[in-house]
Structure 1
Amino acid sequence: MLTTGFKLWFGLCVAMVAAAIFAGYTTGGTETGPISLGWKGGIGNHVVYTLLMIGAASMAVMGVVSQAFRDSDPEAAIELLGTEEAPEAQPEVDSSWWPIFAALGLSILVVGLVVHAAIFVIGVVIIFAIGIEWTMTNWSEKATSDPELNSELRERLMRPIEVPLIGALGIGVLVLAVSRILLSSSASGAVLVATIVGVLIFGTAFFISTRPSISRGLVQSILFLGIAGILIAGLISAVVGERDFHHKGPDHHDDSHAEVEH
């Protein structure tokens, strides 16, 4: 009997294969090339066709895995483990901010391809760091059936690395983002932006310090939203570019109105 998960992944696989064939014929594919994976005839746009076929293969693998593990069916788990009862289910996990920051890092990377190599490198570093954090978070959430123990395991493993590394990376990226914002603003606008940002940071810190009972999740949400806002503003400012700086040079006298001696 085919599981629900297999049907889902198989359906996505068929859809991506159909999309690849359609893209192949509409971008210059000839004869049976798009159907035969290029064995006889052209496949059209190689990049689009290859990416869609790789995606289809990935969906097929996921379908096979889902069918093999029977969508984590309790009866299948009991039969496989040889026990009388199914193992304790994993607890529900909270929502994560890592996908949002991963998308933001990808946006920075793409913009860096057009604007500047330094921005591209920053995007790569952000994606790499978030990939590690996201992976460790997923691992810790499913390490045991005790959420508190899972959190403690993650704290012990990642805190010695996160504090110095993420702190240094975060400060550097935020400083660069704020500098892009200030350089793209006018002279008076830069002063106004710096004042507003400073007031917001001070006000937020004061608000959190006067409420010791505030939940950790709310504090993290405030910090994540603030960092995301600064990064997005810095990204937009980098695309806009710096303002024109007019440097005062030596005095030049206009001799156009000077009397010409004859």
Structure 2
Amino acid sequence: MLTTGFKLWFGLLVATFTAAVFVGYTTGGTETGPLTLGWKGAVGNHIAYGILMMAATTSGLLAILSQSFRDADAEAAAEILEVDIDKVPEAQISTGSSPWPLFTALGVVTMAVGLVAHPFVFGTGLIISLVIAVEWTMTNWSERATGDSEKNRELKEGLLRPIEIPVLGLVGIGVIVVAVSRILLAASVLGAVWIATVVGTIIFLTAYFISKRPSIPRGVVQGILAVGFIAVIVSGIFAAINGERDFHHVGGEHGDSHMEEDH
């Protein structure tokens, strides 16, 4: 029976190998070159083809390891070692699903878009990826620290909270300021005024609504803040890609003083 890990890595193997062959054919490869790793012809862009083939090879090796060790399944190991699994204490508690893979994909995609779109977009993706790397690492560590989930949560909060709140707050404010500046610079003068007015009104009304209902669950408030933050970041990315509005300098040809107009 194929394990879950084998299915995952084998799927990545197929995807990366297919992508490598596609890149080879679309960048000047011959009919048989991309399929034979360059033995019977050219493979096209060597760098892109090589990176994807390395990813395919790595995925294949991990698939073999996952299948060989049965995804480190306790029952399979106990059967081989002839150990009664019911008498063995749990090495760690079972953990739930994690959102970090989803956010990691978001950061990587943002960086990829930024490479061809705008430095601000790349910087945003880089910051997201670095923050997620730290959070994901600490989450994995805390989930395996003890057999008590509540104790693990306290360990993580005690270690990260003194650093997490000020650093993430500072980074978040900086990213929002830059994103808002990109949005306002991409719009016309009148459009920027309307955007600032509407967004400010929405923030004020949302804060007023939350303050009048202290019984709102904490998760709902966090969800509202997360949606607003993501909306601002995404809007800033699109605005940065579109570029700033045109500024026309009006004044004497040799004079120092001038006046700016924009459309």
Residue 62 of structure 2 is aligned to residue 62 of structure 1: yes
Residue 168 of structure 2 is aligned to residue 162 of structure 1: no
Contact residue 120 and residue 237 of structure 2 kept, 8 A? no
Q: CA RMSD in A?
A: 3.4
Residue 96 of structure 2 is aligned to residue 93 of structure 1: yes
Residues 140 and 116 of structure 1: is their aligned pair in 2 closer, same or farther, counting only changes over 3 Å?
same
Alignment of 1:45-84 (within 5 A): 45-79=45-79, 82=83, 84=85
Shift of 1:42: 3.1
Runs of 5+ consecutive residues of structure 2 not aligned to the other structure: 253-263
For residues 50-83 of structure 1, the C-alpha deviation after alignment (integer angstroms, 9 at most, x for no partner) is 2331222222232233124313433224355955
**Distance in 2 (alpha carbons) for counterparts of 1:4 and 1:99:** 17
**Distance in 1 (alpha carbons) for counterparts of 2:143 and 2:205:** 33
Q: 1:201 aligns with which of 195, 200, 203?
A: 203
Higher Rg: 1
Q: 1:181 aligns with which of 178, 183, 186?
A: 183
Shift of 1:155: 0.8
Shift of 1:41: 4.5
Residues 220 and 138 of structure 1: is their aligned pair in 2 closer, same or farther, counting only changes over 3 Å?
farther
Of 206-215 and 19-28, deviating more is 19-28
Of 16-25 and 57-66, deviating more is 16-25
Residues 26 and 127 of structure 1: is their aligned pair in 2 closer, same or farther, counting only changes over 3 Å?
closer
Letter in 1 for 2:94: P
Of 66-75 and 230-239, deviating more is 66-75
TM-score normalised to the size of structure 1? 0.76
Task: Specify the alignment match of 1:129 in structure 2.
Answer: 131
Task: Specify the alignment match of 1:259 in structure 2.
Answer: none
Alignment of 1:1-262 (within 5 A): 3=3, 5-6=5-6, 9-10=9-10, 12-13=12-13, 16-17=16-17, 20-21=20-21, 24=24, 27-29=27-29, 34=34, 37-38=37-38, 41-79=41-79, 82=83, 84-85=85-86, 87-88=89-90, 90-96=93-99, 98-247=100-249, 249=251
Residues 221 and 65 of structure 1: is their aligned pair in 2 closer, same or farther, counting only changes over 3 Å?
farther
Task: Specify the alignment match of 1:253 in structure 2.
Answer: none
Identity over aligned residues, as a percent?
57
Shift of 1:235: 0.8
Letter in 1 for 2:130: F
Shift of 1:206: 2.7
Aligned length: 250
**Distance in 2 (alpha carbons) for counterparts of 1:26 and 1:234:** 33
Letter in 2 for 1:205: A
The structure 1 segments of at least 4 consecutive aligned residues displaced by more than 6 Å after TM superposition are none
